[in-house]
Amino acid sequence: MRAKRAPQRSLFDAGYPDHDMGRALGLMSRLLDEHPEFLEWIAADVDRGVVSSVGRRGLPCEVILRCGILKHLWQSDYRELEFVLVDSASARRFTRVDPLRPPKRSALQRCIGAVRAEVWERINRVLLGGARDDKIEAGRKVRIDSTVTETHILDPSDSQLLYDAVRVLSRLLARGREKLGPDAFLFHDHRRAAKRRKWKIPKARMKRKVKLYRELLAVVRRTLRYADGALAAVEGRDEPWIEDWRAQVVHYRELAGAVVRQTVRRVLKGETVPAEEKVVSLFEPHTDIIRKGGRRVQYGHKVNLGSGASGLVFYAVVEAGNPADSSRCLPMIERHAAIYGSAPDQVAFDGGYASKANLADAKALGVRDVVFHKKRGLKTTDMASSPRVYGRLRNFRAGMEAVVSYLKRCFGLGRCNWRGLEHFRAYVWSAVVTHNLWVIARRKLKLKPA
């Protein structure tokens, strides 16, 4: 018997697939349509002159916003996102890209990267207001904890940083000689010599290691002298390319000098260099050295997060340095009051935020129950109205671990691969906005947690 052929659907069928993901994407799209002001905010950022005049001149603001959200939702880099927009009908429908002219990776990277953290934060506040109106999240009960979002760097070592300095400066100097001519300034490429020593240092014994470090430092210092000569050679010249080239040479020359000084102090003089004085990357110099408790050292930025019973994230504060959690207790409550107009009724903190002063100050701001995961000498009755309330709030705080894990596993908050501190902040906030939009859609559809 001849098998029946399944009916063929039109290529131009509207709507999302009859699936939880499809229904959630459709509702997320409608939520974005309810706020056309988002596009005006994004347009102001894109109009700052970020978009190049070469090639595609940019993307519609609606496409930029939706592609930025889809990038986090599907955990794609820009190359994968470019393919997804060509391959997936649901992705094209959600992002509303032109199917005949899908955006290239460079256009996606340039336009999405132009949206500042402040704009993503404003979008998040509007979404929180809608969640309050829809009775999804009232913001009266809060749990607060901190985590670390890593920057996109290798685990730093002095030998790797010294080699990076030689490599980057040599590349810039070689480019300068191509433009100016071989007699413009003195330069010899020592990248191979630096690389050989960089690989030998980790395997060498201590006495041999110090000798190799001295040789590597000599190579770096010679390269720095070449950079100084190159900068002197272009002094007073006004070719179009020179300004950008000079800025890069000066930038990396300063960082290389700092790496040389910290290596001399640590390796040759045996000093302990404080974490705040260290350079751990030439490419992400804003990176902080973070150690939380007895856990491994991480390289990135500490982020303080606040969440409610719905799982929505109220705020994400990217901290400078590695401040103690106890010093961030009051600022987090004040930030919450700025969003919702008053302090919450109940707040549950991780144990690192606990102190008698923080408890008294939080109560003075109008918080009825202030619970810390570890008591640290505080009485249960001082923190909460009853032991039962204390126990419930302490269990409520434990749910923050799940929120942080969900953000890292499913929305990319564990590691930021965008370059620069401003882009780091934008990355964190865009992940939070995507997470909240997804949580609101699933709660409205009454879907099970992902």
What residue numbers bound the domain in which 307 lies? 117-153+287-429
312/379 same-domain check: yes
CA angle (360, 361, 365) in 5-degree steps: 120
221/174 same-domain check: yes
Q: In whole angstroms, what is the distance from residue 39 CA to residue 142 CA?
A: 30
135/253 same-domain check: no
Q: What integer pLDDT is reported at residue 20 of this predicted model?
A: 84
Q: In whole angstroms, what is the distance from residue 91 CA to residue 125 CA?
A: 25
298/412 same-domain check: yes
Q: What integer pLDDT is reported at residue 304 of this predicted model?
A: 96
Secondary structure (DSSP) of 13-66? --S--SSHHHHHHHHHHHHHHT-THHHHHHHHHHTTTTS-SSSS----HHHHHH
Q: What integer pLDDT is reported at residue 22 of this predicted model?
A: 87
165 contacts 225 by C-beta, under 8 angstroms: no
258/163 same-domain check: yes
Q: In whole angstroms, what is the distance from residue 400 CA to residue 309 CA?
A: 9
Q: What integer pLDDT is reported at residue 5 of this predicted model?
A: 40
148/293 same-domain check: yes
Query: pLDDT tens for residues 389-402?
Result: 999 999 999 999 99
414/340 same-domain check: yes
Question: Strand, helix or coil at 206?
Answer: helix
423/298 same-domain check: yes
Q: What integer pLDDT is reported at residue 14 of this predicted model?
A: 59
Q: What integer pLDDT is reported at residue 110 of this predicted model?
A: 92
Residue 103 lies in a domain: yes
Q: What integer pLDDT is reported at residue 15 of this predicted model?
A: 75
Place of tokens 């953290």: 117
Say what percent of the chain tops pLDDT 70: 94
91/207 same-domain check: no
Q: What integer pLDDT is reported at residue 446 of this predicted model?
A: 83
Residue 265, CA distances (Å) to 271, 277, 442 in order? 5, 11, 54
Residues of the chain with confidence (pLDDT) below 50: 1-13, 51-56
Q: Which of 59, 155, 188, 159 is nearest to 111 (CA)?
A: 59
